[in-house]
C-alpha cells in the first residue's frame, strides 16, 4: 500500500503521476503552486497574466514529466519551466506591443487605461507595484537569479542548477541584480 501522498517525496509523486495517478500530480501542484505563482508574479508584475502563465507552466510540466530527473530537485525543475514561460510571455507581449504601436493613432483613443487610479492605490500597494516593476525591468539573466535567490529563497546551488550556470555566476549576477535594482529604485 502506498503511504499518504503528503508523505511522499516529489520524485515519488512524479513517478505515480506518470503511472496515471492524477492525485499525485495534484499533490505536486499543491506543494509548488504558491512558489511558482510568486515567481511568475515577480517576473511579469501583472496579477491577471500571472494566473495564466502559472497555469501554462504546470501544463507544460505535466507534459514534460517523463523527462523529469527524479534525482534532481522538482522545485528547481519547475522554476526553470516557469521562468521559460515568463520569457515566452514577454516575447509575445513585445510582439503585441509592436503591433499595437503600428495601428493608427485614432485607435489609441479607444484603448482604456489598465492602470488603477492613484486614489485606489494604497501606499503599500504602490510601493509593491514599483518594486515589481523594477524587478521586471531587469535583464532576464539578472532577474531570474534575483527572484530565485531572494524571493523564492533558493540556495545558490539550487539557482545554479535551475539556470544551468555555476554558483560563481549566480553570485555575480545576484550582486549585479541588487545593484541595478537599487539604482532603479533610487530614481
CATH number of the CATH domain containing 34? 1.10.1740.10
Q: Which three cell numbers stand for residue 140?
A: 532576464
Return the pLDDT at 54.
95
Q: How far apart are CA 47 and CA 49, in angstroms?
A: 6
Q: Collect all residues with Cβ–Cβ distance below 8 Å to 37 and sequence separation of at least 6.
A: 50, 51, 54
| Choice between 45 and 1, residue whose per-residue pLDDT is larger | 45
| Count of structural domains, the chain | 2
Is residue 93 in some structural domain?
A: yes
Domain limits for position 184: 120-187
**pLDDT, position 51:** 94
Residue 26 lies in a domain: yes
**Residues 5 and 91 occupy one common structural domain:** yes
pTM check: above 0.75: no
Is residue 187 scored above 70 in pLDDT?
Answer: no
Asked if residue 110 is part of any domain, the answer here is no
140 and 48 in one domain?
A: no
87-120 tens-digit pLDDT: 999 888 877 777 666 666 566 566 666 665 556 5
Q: Of 47, 76, 104, which one is at a domain's C-terminal end?
A: 104
Distances (CA, A) of 90 to 43, 86, 119, 172: 9, 6, 29, 24
Residue 111 lies in a domain: no
Kindly tell me if the per-residue pLDDT of 137 is higher than 60. Answer: yes
Amino acid at each position: 500500500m502506498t503511504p499518504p501522498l503528503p508523505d511522499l517525496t516529489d520524485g515519488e509523486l512524479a513517478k505515480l503521476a506518470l503511472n496515471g495517478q492524477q492525485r499525485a500530480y495534484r499533490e505536486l501542484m499543491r506543494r509548488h503552486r504558491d512558489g511558482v505563482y510568486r515567481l511568475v508574479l515577480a517576473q511579469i508584475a501583472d496579477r491577471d497574466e500571472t494566473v495564466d502563465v502559472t497555469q501554462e507552466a504546470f501544463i507544460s510540466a505535466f507534459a514534460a514529466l517523463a523527462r523529469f530527473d527524479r534525482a534532481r530537485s522538482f522545485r528547481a525543475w519547475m522554476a526553470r519551466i516557469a521562468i521559460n514561460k515568463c520569457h515566452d510571455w514577454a516575447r509575445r507581449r513585445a510582439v503585441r506591443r509592436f503591433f499595437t504601436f503600428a495601428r493608427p493613432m485614432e485607435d489609441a483613443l479607444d484603448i482604456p487605461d489598465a492602470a488603477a487610479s492613484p486614489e485606489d492605490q494604497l501606499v503599500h500597494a504602490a510601493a509593491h507595484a514599483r518594486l515589481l516593476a523594477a524587478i521586471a525591468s531587469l535583464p532576464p539573466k539578472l532577474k531570474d537569479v534575483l527572484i530565485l535567490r531572494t524571493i523564492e529563497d533558493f540556495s545558490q546551488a539550487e539557482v545554479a542548477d535551475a539556470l544551468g550556470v555555476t554558483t560563481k555566476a549566480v553570485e555575480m549576477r545576484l550582486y549585479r541584480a541588487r545593484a541595478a535594482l537599487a539604482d532603479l529604485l533610487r530614481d
